[in-house]
A and B are shown apart, each in its own frame.
Chain A
Amino acid sequence: MRTKKVEDTKKIFSKSHTLLNTFDLRDFKGKKVLAKNGLKVGKVSDFVIDKSYNIVSLKVRNWFRTFYVDTLFIDSLSNKVVKLNIIPVVTNIGKKVFDVEGRYVGKVVGLVKTNDKNEFKGLIVKKRFFFRGKTINKSDIKTNDKNIILKIEHVN
C-alpha cells in the first residue's frame, strides 16, 4: 500500500488526491484469494474494467479453473492476501459426495445455477470420468464443508 504522499508535480488529476492508502493493480496480481472461511480459492490473475473505467471484478485462477468475483465481495486487502466476505460456490467443485449411509456418490463436477449470484440450486456429481453426471438438489445436502454429506440415501 502506498504510504508516502506523491509529489504534486508527478500527478495529473481532475481533483486533488494525495494517493495515500492506494494500491497499484500490479501489486495485486498473484495475490492469494481466501474465502470467508479461510479456504484458499485461488490467486488474482487479472482485473475486469468496464467502459466507465471502473474495476468491476477480480479474475481468480485456481489451477485450470477461472472465475470472476465482484469487487463488492472483497472484505479486506493486505500485502499478500485478498480476503473475501463470501465462500464462492465454485469451491464446491472437486468435493467428494457421500450419502447418509456412508456410500460414495461421486465428485462434484459442476453446479446447477439459475443466475450469476453466489447461489446454486444443485450439484452435478460423477462417480467416474466416463459416467453420466447425476444432479443432487441443494435441499438434500446435510453438511457442506471439506466434502459433502447428504441427508438422504443415494442408490446408484
Chain B
Amino acid sequence: MKTITSDDILGKVALDTSGDELGIVTELHIDKENKTITGVTIDQGFMKPSLFIGIKHILKFGIDSVMLNKVPYEKIKGLNVLDERGELFGYVDEVIVKKYKIDSIIVSKTKVSSKKYIITGKDIDKISSDVLLKKGFKAKLKE
C-alpha cells in the first residue's frame, strides 16, 4: 500500500479542474474519532480568506500539487462581470448555489456601491478570469 505523509501535502499548490492555482495547502484536517482526513485548508494569498476543501472534492494528492475535482464557487467572488460586448457591468459580490450549481450571482456596479443586481445562472455565458454574460441578459435590482 502506497502511503504519503503530511509533508507530501502541506505547502503544495492546489489546482482546480481548470488548472487555476487556488493557493497553497496550509492545513490538513483530521477527524479525531475516525482518524481520517476530512479536508484541507488553502491559503489563497494576501487579504484573501482561506478556503476549506472537503476530502470529497480532492481528486488526487499529486507529486507537486493537490488536484481538486471541482471549481470552487468562492473564487468567483470579486471577478469582473462583462456584458456580451466585453464592457464592464460590475463585480461579483456573492454567489448563490443551489443543488451544486450556480443559481444566481449578486453583482455590484462598483466595488463600494450599495446598489446590487441579481443575475440568474441562465444569463451567464462563461466563467474564466471574468464572468461573461449572455446577450440580452436581465439584471434585477436587489431590494
Contact = CB atoms under 8 A, between A and B. Distances in A.
A143 B64 CA distance: 17
A104 B86 CA distance: 33
A80 B87 contact: yes
Interface in B1-35: 12, 15, 17-21
A101 B20 contact: no
Contacts of B65: 98, 102-104
Interface string A59-74: 0000000000000000
B61 to A, nearest CB: 7
A21 to B, nearest CB: 15
A131 to B, nearest CB: 16
Given A38-B82, A143-B17, A104 B128 contact: no
A contact residues, range: 20 to 34
A75 to B, nearest CB: 9
Nearest to B125: A38
Given A101-B62, A102-B64, A147-B19, A78 B128 contact: no
Interface residues of B, number: 27
A34 B87 CA distance: 10
Given A76-B86, A78-B85, A147 B20 contact: yes
Contacts of B130: 38-39
B77 interface: no
B126 interface: yes
Interface string B130-143: 11100000000000
Interface string B66-105: 1100000000000000101111100000000000000000
A40 B60 CA distance: 31
A134 interface: no
Interface of A: 32, 34, 37-40, 76, 78-83, 95-96, 98, 101-104, 143-149
Interface of B: 12, 15, 17-21, 60-67, 82, 84-88, 126, 128-132
22 contacts: A37-B128, A38-B126, A38-B128, A40-B129, A76-B85, A76-B86, A78-B87, A80-B87, A81-B85, A81-B86, A81-B87, A98-B67, A101-B60, A101-B63, A102-B15, A102-B66, A104-B65, A143-B18, A144-B19, A146-B19, A146-B21, A147-B21
